[in-house]
A and B are shown apart, each in its own frame.
Chain A
Amino acid sequence: MISCLLELFLAYEEDPNVKLVILKGKGRAFCAGGDVAAVVRDIRGDDWRAGANFFLKEFTLNYLMATYSKPQVSILNGIVMGGGAGASVHGRFRVATENSVFAMPETALGLFPDVGASYFLSRLPGFFGEYVGLTGSRLDGAEMLACGLATHFVPSTKLAMLEAALCIVDSSDPVIISSIIDQYCEQPSLKEQSVYNRLDVIDRSFSQKTVEEIISALEREVVHKMDVWISTTIQTLKKASPTSLKISLRSIREGRLQGVGQCLVREYRMVCHVMRGEVSKDFLEGCRAILLDKDKNPKWEPSKLEIVTDSRVDRYFSKMNTEEWEDLKLPTRSKHNLPVYAIAKL
C-alpha cells in the first residue's frame, strides 16, 4: 500500500486537475499501522534489508506528505496508529471524529515512534509528546484536537456531507479548505478523566532528562497520595522495552530541534539498527510476545534501564557500517511551489 500511495501522491502533485487529496480508511480503522508481522518474517529469514526497504519507502511517503504542495485532508474516523499516524499527521488537515483512537504503541513492541513522529510528537504542547511516545497511550478525538494532532473535529454523521463539499472544491488554498471543514466542525469536550487534564504532572515528569528520572519523578508524585493514572503510567513504562524507551526519548528530543527531513533521516538509521538487531533483539521479542504468541510477556534484553548504556543508545543514531547501506535520500522539493506551512517544516 505504501508503494501505491507513494505513486499516487507523486502523480497527483504533477496533475493540475488535482487540487487536494482526501485520505480515508474503511471500516473501524483509518489505518492501524504497518504490517509488522511481515517485517518480522523478513528479519527471521535473515533479510533485515527487506524490512528496511519498506521503511525507506514509507519514510519517503511521510516526507512527501509533510512537504506536499497541495493540501491533504485525512478523515480519521477510527483507529489511527503507528504508520497510520505517519500517513495522516504530516498532511495539512486532520479531521478527528468521536470514533478516533490515536496511539504510537511502538515502545511496547521493541521499536520506537517512527514515521516522522520525532517531528510531530516533539511539537505537541509541553512534554505531551514524550508522554504519548513513551507510553503508547491512546488518545480520543477530543484529545487529538486539544493537542493539535487533529486540526478539526467533525462528528461521524457529518462526514458524508463534508466529503461531498470537499469534492467540489476547485482550489488548493488551505484557507478555503479550512473554512469548508469549519462548517461541519464541532467543539468536543474532554472527558473529565482525560490525560490532557493532567498536563501539569506530564510536564513536570516527562521534561526530565532521562527515562530513569522520568520514572522517578512520576514515583515522587504518588509518594504521599494515590493516583491511579500516574501509577498506571509508571507500570506501562516499566513494561516497555528499556532500549526502546531510551532511543525513543532521545529521538523525540533531537527531533524537537530539527526539520522533518532530518528527523526522517535519523529515524531511518534507527530503524535499520532495530531491523538488523545487532544492538538488541527487542523488536523480534516484542512482536513475538504481543502480536504472534500473544503471551504479552516479552523478555527484554537488556532487561533493565540501567544496563542500557549511552554508548548502546549512540549506536542506533550512527550510520550503519554495512556495505551498500546509505543514509535515507529524500526527494528534492525545490521544483515545487511549496506552501508556507510546508516550507516551515524543512
Chain B
Amino acid sequence: MDRAFQRTQILTNHLLQSSPSSPAQIPSLSSNACLNYSPPELSEGYAFDIKEMRQLLDGHHVADRDWLFGVMVQSKLFNPRVRGGKVFVSPDYNQSMEQQREMTWKRIVYLLERGVFKGWLTEKGEEAEMRRFAYFEVLGLFDHSIAIKLGVHYFLWGGAIQFFGTKHHHDKWLRDTENYLIKGCFAMTELGHGSNVRGIETVTTYDSNTGEFVINTSCESAQKYWIGGAANHATHTIVFSQLNINGTNQGVHAFIAQIRDAVGNVCPNIRIADCGHKIGLNGVDNGRIWFDNVRVPRENLLNSVADVSADGKYLSSIKDPDQRFAAFLAPLTAGRVNIAVSAVYQSKVGLAIAIRYALTRRAFSVKPNEPEVLLLDYPSHQRRLVPLLAKTYAMSFAANYLKMLYVKRTPQSNKTIHVFSSSFKAIFTWNNMQILQECREACGGQGLKTENRVGHLKGEHDVQSTFEGDNNILMQQVSKALFAEYVAAQKKNRAFQGLGLEHMNKPCPVIPSQLTSATLRCSQFQMDALCLRERDLLKRFVVDVSQHQAKGESKEHAFIMSYQLAEDLSRAFSDRAIFQKFVEAEATLAAGPLKDVLGMLRSLYALIYIEDVAFFRYGYLSVDNAAAVRREITKVCSELRPHALALVSSFGIPDAFLSPIAFNWIDANSWSSVQH
C-alpha cells in the first residue's frame, strides 16, 4: 500500500508541478554536462623545441616543403573543406574513378605551372635531388595517387631516359618530359612476370633492312600490366623486352615507344585496356598494353649498357649477362628509396591523427561520477601507440641516411645502396601497414570515415609492399648479400667491412644474466643484443645453407629451403641497421630535453625488438629477462606519455593535411555543419 501511495504522490506532484515534500525521497533530474572538446595544446606542454626536432626528422629543405604545402592548401583544386572551423585538404575519394583520375591530372598541371617540377630532370647535383625527394614526400602527404602518377612520369620514365639512355636520348627527351610536353609511363611488369623481370615474355627483334626494332607481345601472359598512366593519358612508354638478335636472346633491354598521339588517340598496333577499379589509388589510371609488332627506330633502344649496330650486331661493354642486367637495373633504386621514405611519412600522418585523437577522446571512468579517462592515459593505449612512434622516429633517421646514401652514390657504393634500399623499403612499408592498422583501430569507428584519413590510407598504400620489388623477395636479396659477405670474409680471411657488419669482427657480445632497468636503457646493451641476434642468425643461416649444399643441392635451392632463417636474419639485420641510425642521430645532439626524449624513444625502439619472438626462439634471453624487458617497455611508454603531443607536432605536418578527428571532432560533426 505504501508503494501505491508513494506513486500516487509522485504523479500528483507531476500534475501540480509542486515541489516535493521531502526532497531526499525524490531525487531531481539533472542533466549531464555535455562533452566539451578541449584541444590538446591547452593541456599538454612542449618540453623541447619542436622546430629543432622537425629539422632532425625531415633532415632537409624544411622551408621548401612548407612552400609546397602552402601552394596546395591555397588552391581549390586540392579540395579544401572546412570542418570544425578548420580547413582540410584531401581528394574527394567519393568521386568516380574517372573523376579522380581527371582531378589528379588537373592538380599536376597546376603544380607544373607553379614551377614545382622545375629542374627535376635537367638540374644535376645532390641539392637538386634532395629537394626533389622533399617535394615528393610533401605531395605524398596530400594523396598517394598524385605521387604515383608523378613518380611514374619523372622517376620511372624520366629516370629510365636518364640512366639507361645516352646523350642523344637526354637531349631529345628530358626537357620535354620535365615540361610535360609528353607524358611517359613505364612498361616493365607483365601479367605473368612482376618480380622476376628477367622472365618477361615481350620479345623484340631487329629489322636491319629498315633499321627498326620490332616489339611484340607474344602471348596473353606477356601483356604489360599495372602500367600507371597508360590507361588514359600517357603518350610514350619505356618497354622492357627480351632482345633477340640473330636468333640469340641477349636478355632484357629497354626501348622507347610511342603509344598515343598528341591528341590522345592510341597509336596503330598498340592495344590498351584499363586495369579497372582498385582498393585504392583510383586517381592513377593503370593500364594494360599489347604491342602488335610495333616498329620503333633503332635509336629508341636505351643504350647505356648495350647497343645494336645499324647492321644488326649486338654490342656490349659488359660481357657477363648477369652483370649487365644488374648494371641495367641499378639506377631504379631511386624508386625504392622514394617508396621507403613515403611509407614513413604515411605512418606519421596515421600517428599524428591517432595520438591527437587519443589526447581528446575519453572512454570509461575508473570510479563512478568521475570524468571518463582520456584514451592515451590508459597504459594499454600507450602500449599500442607509443612504440609505433618510436618505430617511426627510427625509420625517419634511417630514411634520411638512405637518401644521403643514394644522392652520394658511386659505382662502389652500388651494392650497399642495393642492400639498404631493399631492406628499408620492405621494413618501412610493412611497418607502415601495421602502424596504419593500429592507428585505425585506435580511432574506433571514426577511423572508418574516409575523410578521417587514417583508415583510408591503408588501402591507398597497401601496394607498397609488393610493387618496386615484392618485400619478401627484397628481404631474400638482403639475406643473400649477407651470406655472400660472410663467405667472402671467411674465404679471404679478412675482416667484415661495410653494411655495418664491423661488429662481427669483435668478440661475441654477452647478455648479462640480470637485466636491470639501467642496463635495459643503455644503448650499448641494446646494440649488443641486436648485434648478437644478427651475428648468430647469420652463422646459423650459413651453416644451414652449407648443409644443404653438402647434400648436393645447388646454392639457389639451398637458399629456398633455408627461407625461415633467411627471413629471421634479414629482419635482424634491418632492425640493427635502423637502430644504428637512431643512435647516430641521437649522438649529434647536445645534452638537453630533446636528447633525453629521443633517448627514451631509442630505448623503446630497441626494447620492442628485443621483446621479439626471435630472442626467445634462439635462446638469447631467459624467461626472466624477457619479463624484465616487458616491464621496462610499459615504463618507458608511460614516461613518454607527456611528450606525445610534442612528438607528433614535430612531424611538421600542417593541420590541413591531417583530419577532423585530430581536432575539434565534436564540432566537425555538429548539426550546424550538416546544414552548411
Q: Which residues in A have some Cβ–Cβ distance to B below 8 Å?
A: 122, 125-127, 175, 203-204, 207-209, 250, 253-254, 256-257, 259, 332-334, 337, 340-341, 343-344, 346
B66 within 8 A of A: yes
Is the pair B663, A344 in contact by a Cβ cutoff of 8 Å?
A: yes
Checking A125, A204, A332 against B74 with a beta-carbon cut-off of 8 angstroms, the contacting residue is: A125
B500 within 8 A of A: no
Checking B85, B114, B656 against A343 with a beta-carbon cut-off of 8 angstroms, the contacting residue is: B85
Checking B36, B75, B114 against A337 with a beta-carbon cut-off of 8 angstroms, the contacting residue is: B36
- Contact A334-B70, Cβ < 8 Å, known A208-B115, A343-B37: no
Chain A residues, Cβ within 8 Å of B43: 334
Chain A's nearest CB lies how many Å from the CB of B553? 59
- Contact A334-B42, Cβ < 8 Å, known A254-B66, A257-B654: yes
Is the pair B70, A259 in contact by a Cβ cutoff of 8 Å?
A: no
A-B contact pairs, 22 of them (CB 8 A): A126-B74, A126-B75, A203-B74, A207-B70, A207-B71, A207-B74, A207-B114, A256-B66, A256-B73, A256-B74, A256-B654, A257-B66, A257-B69, A257-B655, A257-B656, A332-B42, A333-B42, A341-B85, A343-B85, A343-B663, A343-B664, A344-B84
B41 within 8 A of A: yes
Chain A residues, Cβ within 8 Å of B654: 256-257
Considering the chains assembled together, what is the distance between the CA atoms of A158 and B655 in angstroms? 40
Chain B's nearest CB lies how many Å from the CB of A195? 17
Considering the chains assembled together, what is the distance between the CA atoms of A344 and B70 in angstroms? 18
Chain B's nearest CB lies how many Å from the CB of A155? 27
Q: Which residue of B lies closest to A259 (CB)?
A: B41
Chain A's nearest CB lies how many Å from the CB of B659? 14
Chain A residues, Cβ within 8 Å of B41: 259, 346
Chain A residues, Cβ within 8 Å of B69: 256-257
Considering the chains assembled together, what is the distance between the CA atoms of A254 and B73 in angstroms? 13
Chain B's nearest CB lies how many Å from the CB of A81? 24
Q: Which residue of B lies closest to A204 (CB)?
A: B113
Instruction: Provide the main secondary structure of the chain A interface.
Output: loop
Chain A residues, Cβ within 8 Å of B64: 209
Q: How many A-B residue pairs have CB under 8 A?
A: 61
Instruction: Report how many residues on chain B are interfacial, defined by Cβ distance under 8 Å.
Output: 30
Checking A122, A208, A344 against B664 with a beta-carbon cut-off of 8 angstroms, the contacting residue is: A344
Name the residue among A175, A208, A344, A346 with the largest chain B CB count within 10 angstroms: A344
B81 within 8 A of A: no
B459 within 8 A of A: no
Chain B residues, Cβ within 8 Å of A209: 64, 67, 115
Considering the chains assembled together, what is the distance between the CA atoms of A254 and B75 in angstroms? 17
Is the pair A344, B85 in contact by a Cβ cutoff of 8 Å?
A: yes
**B648-676 near A? 1/0 per residue, CB < 8 Å:** 00000011100000011001000010000
Is the pair A340, B667 in contact by a Cβ cutoff of 8 Å?
A: yes
Residues 76-129 of B contacting A (Cβ, < 8 Å): 84-86, 113-115
Chain B residues, Cβ within 8 Å of A344: 84-86, 663-664
- Contact A346-B74, Cβ < 8 Å, known A257-B66, A341-B85: no
Is the pair B66, A253 in contact by a Cβ cutoff of 8 Å?
A: yes
Chain B residues, Cβ within 8 Å of A256: 66, 69-70, 73-74, 654
Q: Which residue of A lies closest to B36 (CB)?
A: A337
B39 within 8 A of A: yes
Chain A's nearest CB lies how many Å from the CB of B25? 35
Is the pair B39, A346 in contact by a Cβ cutoff of 8 Å?
A: yes
Q: Which residue of A lies closest to B118 (CB)?
A: A209
Is the pair A340, B42 in contact by a Cβ cutoff of 8 Å?
A: no
Chain A residues, Cβ within 8 Å of B664: 340, 343-344
Chain B's nearest CB lies how many Å from the CB of A130? 9
Considering the chains assembled together, what is the distance between the CA atoms of A332 and B42 in angstroms? 7
The 6 closest A-B pairs by CB, nearest first: A344-B85, A334-B42, A257-B654, A340-B667, A344-B86, A340-B85
Chain A's nearest CB lies how many Å from the CB of B640? 23
Q: Which residue of A lies closest to B70 (CB)?
A: A256
Considering the chains assembled together, what is the distance between the CA atoms of A254 and B70 in angstroms? 9
Considering the chains assembled together, what is the distance between the CA atoms of A343 and B670 in angstroms? 15
Chain A residues, Cβ within 8 Å of B84: 340, 344
Considering the chains assembled together, what is the distance between the CA atoms of A109 and B496 in angstroms? 64
Considering the chains assembled together, what is the distance between the CA atoms of A208 and B118 in angstroms? 12
Name the residue among A126, A208, A209 with the largest chain B CB count within 10 angstroms: A209
Considering the chains assembled together, what is the distance between the CA atoms of A256 and B68 in angstroms? 11
Considering the chains assembled together, what is the distance between the CA atoms of A337 and B39 in angstroms? 11
Q: Which residue of B lies closest to A128 (CB)?
A: B74
Chain B residues, Cβ within 8 Å of A126: 74-75
Considering the chains assembled together, what is the distance between the CA atoms of A343 and B114 in angstroms? 33
Residues 592-611 of B contacting A (Cβ, < 8 Å): none
Chain B's nearest CB lies how many Å from the CB of A300? 24
Considering the chains assembled together, what is the distance between the CA atoms of A332 and B45 in angstroms? 11
**B38-50 near A? 1/0 per residue, CB < 8 Å:** 1101110000000
Residues 355-394 of B contacting A (Cβ, < 8 Å): none
Chain A's nearest CB lies how many Å from the CB of B45? 10
Chain B residues, Cβ within 8 Å of A250: 63
- Contact A253-B67, Cβ < 8 Å, known A207-B74, A340-B667: yes
Chain B's nearest CB lies how many Å from the CB of A104? 18
Chain B residues, Cβ within 8 Å of A122: 70
Is the pair A346, B115 in contact by a Cβ cutoff of 8 Å?
A: no
Chain B residues, Cβ within 8 Å of A259: 41
Considering the chains assembled together, what is the distance between the CA atoms of A253 and B667 in angstroms? 28
Chain A residues, Cβ within 8 Å of B75: 126
Is the pair B66, A127 in contact by a Cβ cutoff of 8 Å?
A: no
Q: Which residue of B lies closest to A123 (CB)?
A: B87
Q: Which residue of B lies closest to A124 (CB)?
A: B74
Considering the chains assembled together, what is the distance between the CA atoms of A250 and B73 in angstroms? 16
Chain B residues, Cβ within 8 Å of A346: 39, 41-42
Chain B residues, Cβ within 8 Å of A207: 70-71, 74, 114
Chain B residues, Cβ within 8 Å of A341: 85
Q: Which residue of A lies closest to B75 (CB)?
A: A126
Chain B's nearest CB lies how many Å from the CB of A229? 21
Chain B's nearest CB lies how many Å from the CB of A289? 31
Considering the chains assembled together, what is the distance between the CA atoms of A344 and B656 in angstroms? 11
Chain B's nearest CB lies how many Å from the CB of A159? 28
Chain B's nearest CB lies how many Å from the CB of A208? 7
Is the pair A127, B74 in contact by a Cβ cutoff of 8 Å?
A: yes
Chain A residues, Cβ within 8 Å of B656: 257
Chain B residues, Cβ within 8 Å of A203: 74
Chain B residues, Cβ within 8 Å of A343: 37, 39, 85, 663-664, 667
Considering the chains assembled together, what is the distance between the CA atoms of A256 and B66 in angstroms? 9
Q: Which residue of A lies closest to B653 (CB)?
A: A257
- Contact A253-B85, Cβ < 8 Å, known A334-B42, A343-B39, A346-B39: no
Chain B residues, Cβ within 8 Å of A334: 38, 42-43
Name the residue among B41, B43, B73, B113 with the largest chain A CB count within 10 angstroms: B41
Chain A residues, Cβ within 8 Å of B42: 332-334, 346
Chain B residues, Cβ within 8 Å of A333: 42
Chain A residues, Cβ within 8 Å of B67: 209, 253
Chain A residues, Cβ within 8 Å of B113: 204
Considering the chains assembled together, what is the distance between the CA atoms of A250 and B654 in angstroms? 16
Checking A125, A253, A332, A337 against B70 with a beta-carbon cut-off of 8 angstroms, the contacting residue is: A253
Chain A residues, Cβ within 8 Å of B667: 340, 343
Considering the chains assembled together, what is the distance between the CA atoms of A208 and B42 in angstroms? 35
Chain A residues, Cβ within 8 Å of B38: 334
Taking A175-B672, A209-B115, A343-B39 as known contacts, 10 extra A-B pairs with beta carbons closer than 8 A to each other, sorted by chain A number, are: A127-B74, A203-B74, A207-B71, A209-B67, A254-B66, A256-B69, A256-B74, A340-B84, A340-B667, A343-B667
Chain B residues, Cβ within 8 Å of A125: 74
Q: Which residue of B lies closest to A208 (CB)?
A: B115
Considering the chains assembled together, what is the distance between the CA atoms of A259 and B656 in angstroms? 12
Residues 274-333 of B contacting A (Cβ, < 8 Å): none
Chain B's nearest CB lies how many Å from the CB of A24? 26
Chain A residues, Cβ within 8 Å of B63: 250, 253
Chain A residues, Cβ within 8 Å of B37: 343
Considering the chains assembled together, what is the distance between the CA atoms of A116 and B400 in angstroms? 34
Considering the chains assembled together, what is the distance between the CA atoms of A138 and B43 in angstroms? 40
Considering the chains assembled together, what is the distance between the CA atoms of A340 and B37 in angstroms? 9
